[in-house]
Amino acid sequence: MNLSKASLVVVKHPALTTKFIGGDGLDLSSEVFVSLTLIRNPGREMYVGLSIQFPLCRAEQLESSGFGVSYTTNTGTAEGVELAQRYKIVVKFPREGLTTTVSGVPSDLAIRLPASVRDKCCLLKVNIENVDDIRIDGLGMPRLNSGHECDAWLQGSPVVGNLTLLDILTSPEQRFIVKFKGEVLEKQLKTETWPAPFEYPWGDTHFWDADRFRQQAEENPGGRFLPAWTFATDNDHAAVLTQSLAQDIVWVDDAAKRLSNLRLRAYTAESHDSSAWTCLVVPCDQQFRETFKYACRRLAHCRLSVVFFDEKGNERSIRHAEICENPEILSVMRNHPIAEHELVLRVSPEAKDEDLDEDLDVCLDEVELPEFDIKTFSDRILALQAFKQSSSDWNIVSLKFHIEVEEHERKCDAVNEMLPGSRPSNPSVFGLTVPKKDIYAQLIGSPEDIQHVAERQKLARAVIRGTGFQGIALEQPWPKYKMSGMFPGLPMANFFQFENDVERRAVLERMLPGDRERFSRYLSNRHLGLAMITAGPGFGKTTALAVASYGLVRSVGRVYMSAPTNIACDNAADRLMDVSTDVTRRINGKADTEPLCRRLLVVRGYKWEDEVAAFMSILQCPESINDAVPKHGRHGSPWKLENSIAFWLLRALGSAVVPAVRPDDCSRLHDASRGFQGDKKLENILKLASMDMTWEEYVKAGEVPETRIQSMMRYVLMQADVVCTTPAESSKLPYSKWKLEQACGFTIDEAACMSRPDFYTVWGNTMMPCVMAGDRLLLNVAVRSFHDVTSDGDGVYRNRHGPDARISIMEFLQASGWPIFRLHTQLRMARGLFALSQEVIYPELRAQYGVRCHISLPCHASGRAMEAFMLRKFPDILRPCPEGTLREVFVHCPGSRVRVSPMTKSKSSPDQVRIALRLLDELIRDTQARGTQINPSEIIIIVLHSANVEVVKHQLKRYASLVGKVVVSTVESIQGKERPISVVIFGTNEITGPGFSKEARRLNVAISRHTSFLLLIGDINVTGDFRSGVSTTNAHGRGGGRGGRAGGMDLWKLAGQRFLARNDNGELECQVAQKLRAILILMHRAGRVVTVVGGV
């Protein structure tokens, strides 16, 4: 049992009056709240200590001053993090050598207490044998409350006499007045009766070793550990994060290896199109299903190849494949009804050596023989008859799933580099060198530089532990940093330094007028060079990050930019390039003179082999820009021309397929271009690029060796002001070389869904300047193993650190109390369309709509047309939007069928898809007839379960008005695909329960991708029966359900009600989906629910 009781710290001085620290909570006039804390939960750190909370400025003042607001942990909330109202430090006394004495409050102290609490308090004396073991978490974290008495204490000024706060809290003898019964407290303080101190069972060796990780998991099964928001030691930090990685993948890799060793009988459905993907039917017996029950749900997300064997067991063919979750919708499977125990795979029509993945251990040239035939059947009856006669009439196959173990190993290495004793990640940036013959030898450099880097590493470790800066004192000032006046004197960076105020004003023009100066002040004073930007969807986070990135380049030098996905990297790089172009235009005007300001050279780096392949492909076939990188299987490369290395090299060579080098481009790009143009050895490739020579003529005249081309590409990369890649690419050449030798600062977009290991991969371990942007209420870090268990109902989780793995770098730092800059203006959505999110997801945010949100603007014409169509379609059901706003509509589909994939448990609903597509088809035709036609390309369909993607794409073929025009996406891949009209298909019903939409962050993404209209399709009863218990607040309201007796109930009480639904194993269980239910209740009360049965 934990305990937290209001207390006073009693400070006794030999020559002065005894002083109290605290009083808020004991009816004393004090703004400092002190509580005695006893934490003794199994599974977490146990201690006796104090929680001391000091007042902070109001959030409005913190934001207007440019300081930023702070957050803190609150494990009692679903989010785990909340806005901090106070600055808190936690004093933790060591259990060893701790003695306590409880007695009544002496009369000289009791007389100073209010009469209301005097008889309710006791005196606690604490003696600590080893004061060096006292920990004070949160000490030294940035805060703002200028002029308050306690602010001086926190900066090291005496509290009484010459005693500072640190002296008092680390004294060997301390006294507290506690508002609690003495005899009960005395019993609670007997630490010898407490459980043994908590320790993670993972030891102190954390480098990647699958065998060790496997053994540790087998020897230490159990439930999930509580998420750690602070780490007492560096070893705890490394143990938790490396185990979260290992436990996520090692067991999956083991299952994949076991599965690849199985030889399975399967038949192929006959296809009349030899160039099309066909289907392979693999019966799975009971033993297979039991053995791989949980593994298949994970393996479904992995890349897959099928290996075909002959009857002698020789490998004969390899094909790309993927699990088909809805085989019944495919024409090739029309004559092949599938049983629940059968696995259906879509298989590529032919195997090409260049398509095979690197991790396959066979070469197609050695195994593909012309006489080998894959056995196909035109219908299931023939297939079963053939198998009954002889099993050899079916194919022998094995399934090879490609598990990205190397990615987990890379992340594990990054975590280990944060341990004490690790080499600095980028010594050359600080003027240090590593001996080439012995990379483990002592660094070469001045003692001052070596000491400086060691201090930076020490501070970086303190930051990622989240415990503050107790015991950290800097030996010398940091170059280019000013020192904070706050204890313990953290260095402060200025990310907004410009040579002239003209450029500063020009870049700030990209911010809203009300944000400009406070953003400038925020970036100009960043403790330890850490800055964070947050806001809801559509508030301009990426633009703000681009402005900060521009300032960072001008202030500290070259910058490495990253984001967790390729799409996010594309958006971040494009936005920074856009900001840079806009700034130069504002400064240079239309003058033909030498530019006063030059654009940044922003390189968006992709896989090196894709960059090389794209460059060569464009040279050979200029019209192939959109398909410059060959596909691997069914999945194309994320490579795009804009800002890629190939793009900048083509520009430097004077290629006719890209814009010419501009006068205001980076001077280093001009230098590179002149160097290439003047090199006679490049004469042929220059002519080829400018289309003065054909590819055939170029080959005949003499090709430039590919090694030279790659050298040119690396040279262009080295000229960049900013390089942007995913974390994985940042660890590979040539990007890693640029990062470690050139980068003086870092920026991270979508940081709220970037894992800490990924962040360490990019950022390193030397406390480099960093600006990040994100929203912790959008998608979590993807942790596939989060729900995986060893068997049904035993409570043993595959990944005991799944909750830790989900905590992103930004969420962790935010919870630690680092000041964060918030944006408050919705820029994307029409007025009214953020209201649901505002009330349910972002209640603490003071949001307002920007000028582009007025619904009368041309950009919201499709939203107005959609609203008019829905009112015509449902005139007696749908309530019109309030004047000047647009609002969401929920289409309730009672009785809609939902299919749950037996293997992957993903859900799909052909009924809900059909209703959605019929509505959209009618919308297009109706608005076309009325002259207000909506372009189908303005519509995006979002599904919450991947299996529904197949269903949507299949049914889209029936609608000429929609097919090939409407975008279809899952929640996970939606980023960067925002559209005016968003249609969310839930794909669940009251039997299956809400599925993924129960997860608030995933739901938040789904309902925030639109600009002008949001249409939700599903079963409104997924969180409980709406036909009774929920009503509108207006007695005259119209809605899709009947009013009930609970209309006056509090929203959150109603939304928190439990309901019965089936889990992935088909078992009924009580569930709660508070955010989803709240949204459905609000839409129901607003009269924005319509019902469609069977069709439209």
- Do the two domains 501-775 and 858-1091 of this chain adopt the same fold? yes
Secondary structure (DSSP) of 877-922: TPPPPPTT----EEEE-TT---EE-TTT--EE-HHHHHHHHHHHHH
Q: What is the pLDDT of residues 309-368, one digit of tens each?
A: 988 888 888 988 988 888 888 888 889 998 878 889 999 886 644 444 444 444 444 444
d(CA 253, CA 359): 13
Residue 788's pLDDT is what? 86
Three state DSSP letters for 150-163:
HHHHHCCCEEECCE
Residue 468 has pLDDT above 60, yes or no: yes
CB neighbours (10 Å) of residue 636?
Answer: 11
CATH architecture, domain 501-775: 3-Layer(aba) Sandwich (3.40)
Domain 858-1091 fold: Rossmann fold (3.40.50)
Q: Return the H-helix or E-strand segment holding 556.
A: helix 541-556
246 is written with which tokens? Answer: 């290992």
d(CA 929, CA 925): 6
Beta-strand relationship, 967-970 and 939-943: parallel
**Cβ-proximal residues to 750 (8 Å cutoff; 6+ apart), any chain:** 563, 564, 565, 568, 773, 774, 975
Q: Which residue has the higher pLDDT, 362 or 6?
A: 6
d(CA 789, CA 1082): 36
Contact 866, 939 (CB under 8 A): no
d(CA 208, CA 417): 12
Average of per-residue pLDDT across 882-909:
91
d(CA 890, CA 1088): 6
Residue 1045's pLDDT is what? 35
**Cβ-proximal residues to 440 (8 Å cutoff; 6+ apart), any chain:** none
321: which DSSP letter? E
Average of per-residue pLDDT across 1038-1055:
55
**Cβ-proximal residues to 435 (8 Å cutoff; 6+ apart), any chain:** 441, 442, 444
Residue 466 has pLDDT above 70, yes or no: yes
CA distances from 631 to 626, 634, 646 (A): 12, 7, 18
Q: Please, what is the end-to-end C-alpha distance for the chain in angstroms?
A: 57
Residue 293 has pLDDT above 90, yes or no: no
Residue 1039's pLDDT is what? 42
Residue 647 has pLDDT above 90, yes or no: yes
d(CA 1021, CA 1091): 12
Secondary structure (DSSP) of 404-417: -HHHHHHHHHHHHT
Contact 7, 126 (CB under 8 A): no
228: which DSSP letter? -
Residue 292's pLDDT is what? 85
Query: Under DSSP, is residue 52 helix (H, G, I), strand (E, B) or coil?
Result: strand
Residue 1030 has pLDDT above 80, yes or no: no
Q: Which long-range contacts (CB under 8 A, 24 or more apart) does 620-625 make?
A: 620/695, 621/695, 622/655, 622/656, 622/657, 622/691, 625/657
Residue 383's pLDDT is what? 92
* Residues β-bridged to residue 48: 38, 93
Residue 487's pLDDT is what? 56
Q: What is the pLDDT of residues 591-604, one digit of tens each?
A: 666 788 999 999 99
pTM: 0.92
770 is written with which tokens? Answer: 């960093």
Helices and strands in the chain: count of H runs, count of E runs: 36, 42
941: which DSSP letter? E
Query: Under DSSP, is residue 339 helix (H, G, I), strand (E, B) or coil?
Result: coil
Average of per-residue pLDDT across 179-187:
93
**Cβ-proximal residues to 991 (8 Å cutoff; 6+ apart), any chain:** 898, 1061, 1062
Tell me the residue length of the chain: 1096
Amino acid at 585: R
Query: Under DSSP, is residue 223 helix (H, G, I), strand (E, B) or coil?
Result: coil
Q: Which position has the token pair 């409350």?
A: 145
Residue 573: CA count within 13 A, CB half-sphere: 29
Residue 227's pLDDT is what? 93
Residue 575 has pLDDT above 90, yes or no: yes
Residue 72 has pLDDT above 90, yes or no: yes
Give which of 891, 898, 1079 is closest to 1003, Cα–Cα: 1079
Residue 144's pLDDT is what? 86
Q: What is the pLDDT of residues 680-720, one digit of tens each?
A: 999 999 999 999 999 999 999 989 999 999 999 999 999 99
Contact 619, 688 (CB under 8 A): yes
52 is written with which tokens? Answer: 């001391």
Alpha helices by DSSP H, listed for 155-285, are 165-169, 182-188, 210-219, 234-260
d(CA 538, CA 853): 11
161 band by pLDDT with thresholds 50, 70 and 90: confident
789 is written with which tokens? Answer: 């268990």
d(CA 990, CA 259): 35
Q: Which residue has the higher pLDDT, 76 or 499?
A: 499
Phi, psi of 632 (to 5 degrees): -115, 105
Mean pLDDT of the chain: 89
Q: What is the pLDDT of residues 923-972, one digit of tens each?
A: 999 999 998 889 999 999 999 988 899 899 999 999 999 988 999 999 88
Q: What is the pLDDT of residues 406-465, one digit of tens each?
A: 999 999 999 999 999 999 999 999 999 887 666 566 888 888 899 999 999 999 999 999
Return the domain boundaries, the chain.
3-193, 262-406, 501-775, 858-1091
d(CA 45, CA 342): 48
For the CA atoms of the chain, what is the radius of gyration?
32
Q: Which position has the token pair 């392979």?
A: 280
Average of per-residue pLDDT across 1044-1066:
71
489 is written with which tokens? Answer: 């004197």
Contact 263, 313 (CB under 8 A): yes
Phi, psi of 368 (to 5 degrees): -80, 110
Contact 567, 779 (CB under 8 A): no
